Amino acid sequence: MKALFNVSVMREPSPTGTELRYLLTGKGRVYATAASWAKALQVPASMMSWFEGALARTAMVKGDFAGGELEMTYMEKVVYRWHAVAETLRSFDRQFYDHGFRTRPTNERNDIEKFHRNFERVVSWGYDLQERALSSLVEANADAGKPVTQTQLVDAMKEAVAPRLRQHDEQIREHSIFIEEIREAVPTLRDEGEFITVKQAITEKGLDASQMPLWPKRETLSGVAGQTLKSKGAEQGVTVPARLDGQAVAVPMNTYKRGEIYTVLDEIQRIRPQPLL
């Protein structure tokens, strides 16, 4: 790890009511120890081990992407740049929504939930802190009569804007995945023109492919649907390998448009003989 020199020791109130002591470099970058970040963010005691480990891993893995130097030393102490902290907090947010730390004891889980409620606020505060540091650097140079170079301005823009844009891109990606999952789960949102097998359509509609809707004709629902689609001259897509019920070997199966299969399945359900009471 590289060592920091010629830094200013700064203080800043955090949104949790505590104070952050941090280092401001000549490039306008903000660094602090893991303990200082944890105190300012009020990381629960039960999560300190996780936070310190995740912070170190993030600095190592994300260093190249974020322009390097996420982990440095100052007076023989390891310090982390704000960008590493932000990435670690986002990792915590994803884990919280994935499993909610439900295996933790109740008192620990309550502390974790309280910490998560402050998530958005502390992340915004951290980025604002970095932006204010860059602004102060530019103003200090101007007051000292030092011209601000194009390179310095570009670096300042990258430090302030790029992480937020990447966070925005990640949120859009997560929303797209979520929307796709909803589309797959809700029949009315599925693409009616997509070519799928009869068996997949039966599964999507929650039906039983092995039922015999025209009993005493011993033909399964999937068989009846396939024959009906052929007799109607339904457009076929490419064949795909799939296993028949009770068979271990995959065989080629025809595909049809989802909407046409759904229509045929509905027709079969309407005309199937009703059981005697």
pLDDT tens track for 237-249: 888 887 665 555 6
| Percent of residues, the chain, with pLDDT higher than 90 | 30
Q: What is the pLDDT of residues 74-99, one digit of tens each?
A: 999 999 999 899 889 988 988 888 88
Q: Which amino acid, 78?
A: V
Mean pLDDT of 202-228: 84
Alpha-carbon distance of 66 to 107, in angstroms, equals: 36
Q: Which amino acid, 122?
A: V
Residue 209 scores a pLDDT above 90: no
pLDDT of 192 reads 86
Closest CA to 216 of 269, 264, 275: 275
pLDDT of 159 reads 57
CB 4 within 8 A of CB 25: yes
- Give, as one character, the DSSP assignment of residue 101: T
Higher-pLDDT residue of 16, 274:
16
Higher-pLDDT residue of 179, 240:
240
User: pLDDT tier at 165 (50, 70, 90 boundaries)?
Assistant: very low
Q: How far is CA 155 from CA 13, 23, 83, 161, 178, in A?
A: 26, 18, 14, 10, 34
pLDDT of 249 reads 65
Evaluate if pTM is beyond 0.75. Answer: no
Residue 57 scores a pLDDT above 70: yes
Higher-pLDDT residue of 102, 150:
102
pLDDT of 28 reads 81
Mean pLDDT of 47-67: 82
User: pLDDT tier at 100 (50, 70, 90 boundaries)?
Assistant: confident
Q: What is the pLDDT of residues 107-161, one digit of tens each?
A: 999 999 999 988 888 888 988 888 888 777 777 666 666 665 656 555 655 555 5
pLDDT of 154 reads 56
pLDDT of 276 reads 42
pLDDT of 64 reads 56
Mean pLDDT of 255-275: 84
CB 21 within 8 A of CB 74: no
Q: What is the pLDDT of residues 1-53, one digit of tens each?
A: 789 988 989 998 998 889 999 998 887 889 999 999 999 999 999 999 999 99
Residue 187 scores a pLDDT above 70: no
| Percent of residues, the chain, with pLDDT higher than 70 | 75
Alpha-carbon distance of 107 to 117, in angstroms, equals: 16
